[in-house]
Amino acid sequence: MSDYDGAWKEALEQFFDAFVEFFFPQAHADIDWSRGIEFLDTELQQIQRDAEQGLRIVDKLVRVWRRDGHDDWVLAHIEIQGDRTHDFEARMFACHYRVFDKYQRRVATLVVLADENSVWRPCAYGYELWGCRVQFEFPTAKLLDLAMDWERLESHPNPFALLVMAYLKAKELRNDPESRLAWKVRFIRSLYEHGWSRQMVLDVFHTIDWFLELPPKLELRFRGELESIEAEKHMPYVTSIERIAKQEGRVEGRAEAQHDLIRDALENKFGSESDDLVEQIAAITDSETLRNIFRMVLKANSLDEVRVHLKGLGS
């Protein structure tokens, strides 16, 4: 089964501005994007560790600044929910309060419902006892609603429109690999027609590639289609070194093969100056850590970025 959760998290990190603009335009208009954003991953992990019952406390937590200057900074708590759960509203309330309690700052909980149940639309939690009343409401975006206007999605300039379409087709066609292939080719062709930068194409491609995984035989056919599209568009973006990103999903759990992929990526991008990093990475055996390192290497613009990332792993 495809790792939809991981794909969504990566898309959020790459295109957070576009995500908020696409799903929550009111919030987007109020954020001062010129001041940047900060993903609070370390703090998020602490909140998760503090939680009992094994519940996921926060999916993504982001520090942002507002345009009106009323707050120095506030927090966006993002949840993408793939399945219906009976206690979702209470969990969102608990998430919200835990974040508020830790930071004593205003928090906006923003929810994307990526499930396949058209009638499930959680948006509030509350109770009343002896005159004490609690009422918590949160805005949601339902992907099934967006699917009702497919033409608008196809023409929308925001990259998340394309990612939403890829996700919806991935779930719809989970048992139809031939149709997955056809739609994947269609989405990739559309990707090259938006006029985006090379890096934008690579980043969006990686998430689509992740959503619409194919069996090995169909993957070979897809590679041929991809090469034809890039030759036609004169844009050999993905069929260069970044294309080996697809291979890492085939060797998960095999540290030796993952080390080889990372070494090849480093040598192709940075040459022999990366030899010390190859030796350092060779000591790492955790599959998920190696996967994250591999993705980071593909996106890095310099060896210093890779070194900082590796140093963070050891801290």
Q: pLDDT of 267-306, one tens digit each?
A: 777 877 888 888 888 888 877 788 778 778 877 778 888 8
Q: What is the mean pLDDT of residues 213-242?
A: 80
C-alpha 5/C-alpha 264 separation (Å) is 27
**Residue carrying the six token digits 């002896």:** 130
Residue 89 has a pLDDT of 94
> By C-alpha distance, which of 107, 60, 63 is closest to 81?
60
- 75 forms beta bridges with 63, 107
pLDDT value, residue 235: 84
Query: Averaged over 215-229, what is the pLDDT?
Result: 84
- The residue type found at 233 is K
The confidence band for 251, taking pLDDT boundaries of 50, 70 and 90, is very low
Residue 222 amino acid letter = F
Choose the most confident range, by mean pLDDT, from 204-208, 236-240, 292-296, 299-303: 204-208
Q: Which pLDDT value is given to residue 55?
A: 40
Each residue of 174-212: b (16+ CB within 10 Å) or e?
eeebeebbbbbbebbebbbebebeeebbbbbbbbbbbbb
> How confident is the model at residue 47, as a pLDDT?
65
**Which residues lie across from 127 on neighbouring strands?**
134
Q: Model confidence over 129-170: pLDDT tens digits? A: 999 999 999 999 999 999 999 999 999 999 999 999 999 999
Tell me the pLDDT tens digit for each residue of 53-93. Answer: 434 434 889 999 998 877 689 999 999 998 888 889 998 99
CB 95 within 8 A of CB 79: yes
Residue from 290, 211, 295 nearest 253 by CA: 290
The letter for the amino acid at 135 is Q
Q: For residue 261, what pLDDT band results from cuts at 50, 70 and 90? A: confident
Tell me the pLDDT of the chain averaged across its residues. Answer: 84
